[in-house]
Amino acid sequence: MPEEKTHNKWIALALCILLGYLGIHRFYEGKILTGILWLCTGGLFGIGVIIDAILIVMKPEKY
């Protein structure tokens, strides 16, 4: 049975706030393609970082 990966939403939020324009929080969550997109566009020109921060706060504690 494969192990289920869990990510801490508070670590993801901190990464989003501090390094969101580099997409580091996306890489942390395992979303490699969108992480590369965030890296190349500066977090979708800043708008994506704000939206991601809101979505991360709304997620359950362990996801």
For 26, half-sphere exposure in the C-beta direction (CA atoms, 13 angstrom radius) is 21
Q: Tell me what pLDDT residue 60 has.
A: 80
Contact present, 21 and 49 (Cβ < 8 Å): yes
Q: Confirm whether pTM is higher than 0.85.
A: no
Q: Is the pLDDT of residue 61 over 90?
A: no
Task: Give per-residue pLDDT as tens, 29-49.
Answer: 999 999 999 999 998 898 999
Query: Tokens 């969101």 appear where?
Result: 20
Q: Please, what is the average pLDDT of the chain?
A: 88
